[in-house]
Structure 1
Amino acid sequence: MRSGTLEGQVALITGAGRGIGREIALGLAAEGMAVGLVGRTLQTLTDTLKACVKQGAKGIAVTADVAHPGAVREAVRSVERDLGPIDLLVNNAGQVDRAEVPIWEVDPTQWWQVLEVNLRGPFNLMRSVLPGMVERRRGRILNLNSGFALRPDGHYTAYATSKGALLQLSDNIADSLAAHHVVVLDISPGAVATDMTARMPMFADMKEWNSLPYMVAVVVDTARGRFDALHGRFVHAGRDDLQQLVAMAEEIKAKDARTLRLRPYGEDDPLL
């Protein structure tokens, strides 16, 4: 049922034709948000758009490969022309390593393709969307990240590297964005049942998945500004007590927590 709590706002969601992206688009549309749907396959995007329109939301479907800067620029122009200025960018489009193999056995082309989609894609979107947000002095960017960003994984080196780099990118731009009242957050949904995770051997025997509706609710609350105090930080929706994190936001900031940092080996470490 459409509540209209985000009426008048515009979201751009990448990878919106299926999986998490589709559900996020539907969740935002249900709250009255106009949705710009970006992906590579027109049919799946159109299906998502029809479902959003049934809820009374405005929307547009635009095909684009997020790894191609020119295509992204045109997609952003189309969304803003038809729907208006973008209030929320959801960088959801992603790929994962095709096989669980060590790096010396990977397909080099596919390995770099994962980096192109997962890191260059969000950069391309931010590069096109941020000038408007900075000028208007408002806006939110939500990067769909992963626990793989925080721990070594010898079998998904492209995915883990791309997500770690994405988290570092958010950290690097957080201070400059804060000066313009633009928020960036990296949120991991955890393991949710999608076409992508279904193809990953590590999840072959998975019985209990994290809740996709809960992740959608987290995105809706992000659009409402509930997590603005955690600007520039990493949040794991599948594990964190989000209310507690918000309450601890000042402490988290003071301790420089929820960011990627090199740990010193001891008091004598010159990098301390």
Structure 2
Amino acid sequence: MPVAIVTGASRGIGAHLVRALVSANWRVVALARDTGRLEDLAADVGAATGVPTRAVLPIGCDVTDAAQVSAAVGQALQAFGQVDLLVNNAGLNHREAPLWEVDAQEWWQVLTTNVKGPYLLTREVVPHMIASGGGRIVNINSGSGVRDNAESSGYNASKSALFRITGATALAGAEHGIFAFDLAPGVVRTDMTAVMAVHSERTEWTSPEEVARLCLALAGGELDDYSGRMVRAGADTVAELRARAGHLPTEARRLRLVPWGEDDPLA
């Protein structure tokens, strides 16, 4: 059975992905700071799917702490002997306000969690993937990373940075069988999105099942042509993505500067 590590697994999208992966016959290492919630998740998954709870290994881990990340990956390898998939899902947002009104520590913690976390996990996992012949990384990104927002500067900046982590991993890892993807989940109703003012009047939400379908397709190697690119739940279907694979424009679904025209010296 293949093995996945999922961060931010104790609630929201992370917990949904743990359940979906186990149902698809993956063993999952679930990481989060709240070990109690992880243990409850493991028990719930076992009861709901009929899969023994040993299919989920709950490990308390602060993804911004290099020592904890290294120890968690070590535990995963000791338990299962391999890591085939990394899902960097753990993330934070700050209070919605202009940049100069957000507490500096709160703003920087968003960058630390959303950027340093995926960096540390990727840095720790990829050498083991290379040694075993390859692997895949799914970074839970956002359309926020390609646009400005007056009241969400830290979150948007972190997701732009995550694009660069994905792209760098895809480029450097290609010769080693490493594939990396940005998966935008749309707007799933979670603890974080439910309290955001921008979504206060929202009546339509992206279903967790749509996110899981795309994640499983990426994890299973169905969409490797999208390595270094973004796919979005609620907008993309696996069938349409498969149909477009193989003839994608070079810059499609990547984060790039848009020149003013052919005469732009930055083009």
Matched residue type, 2:255: L
C-alpha deviation, 1:19, in angstroms: 0.6
Deviations 1:208-246 (Å, cap 9, x if unpaired)?
Answer: 111111211222222221111211101111212442233
Corresponding position of 1:264: 259
Aligned match for 1:56, one of 48, 51, 59 = 51
Deviations 1:153-198 (Å, cap 9, x if unpaired)?
Answer: 1111111000011012211221221111111010101001111111
Corresponding position of 2:215: 219
Contact 1:167 1:186 in 2 (8 A): yes
Corresponding position of 1:141: 137
Aligned match for 1:93, one of 81, 90, 96 = 90
Contact 1:230 1:246 in 2 (8 A): no
The secondary structure found in structure 2 opposite 1:264 is: coil
Corresponding position of 1:3: none
Partners of 1:33 and 1:255 in 2: CA distance? 32
Corresponding position of 2:126: 130
The secondary structure found in structure 2 opposite 1:251 is: coil
Matched, 1:153 2:118: no
Matched residue type, 1:135: A
Corresponding position of 1:47: 40
Aligned counterparts, 1:221-260, within 5 A: 221-252=217-248, 254-260=249-255
Corresponding position of 2:117: 121
Normalised to the residue count of structure 1, the TM-score between the two structures is 0.93
Corresponding position of 2:22: 29
Partners of 2:239 and 2:151 in 1: CA distance? 34
Contact 2:169 2:179 in 1 (8 A): no
Unaligned residue ranges in structure 1 (runs of 5+): 1-7
Deviations 1:229-264 (Å, cap 9, x if unpaired)?
Answer: 211101111212442233222332x43211111111
Partners of 1:205 and 1:186 in 2: CA distance? 27
Normalised to the residue count of structure 2, the TM-score between the two structures is 0.95
The secondary structure found in structure 1 opposite 2:115 is: helix
Aligned length: 263
C-alpha deviation, 1:271, in angstroms: 1.5
Q: Once the two structures are aligned, what percentage of the paired residues are identical?
A: 38
Unaligned residue ranges in structure 2 (runs of 5+): none
Corresponding position of 1:5: none
- Larger mean CA deviation between 73-82 and 210-219 belongs to 210-219
Matched, 1:9 2:2: yes
Distance change (3 Å), C-alpha of 1:31 and 1:267: closer
C-alpha deviation, 1:267, in angstroms: 2.3
Matched residue type, 1:32: N
Deviating beyond 3 angstroms after TM superposition, the runs of 4 or more aligned structure 1 residues are none
Contact 1:13 1:25 in 2 (8 A): yes
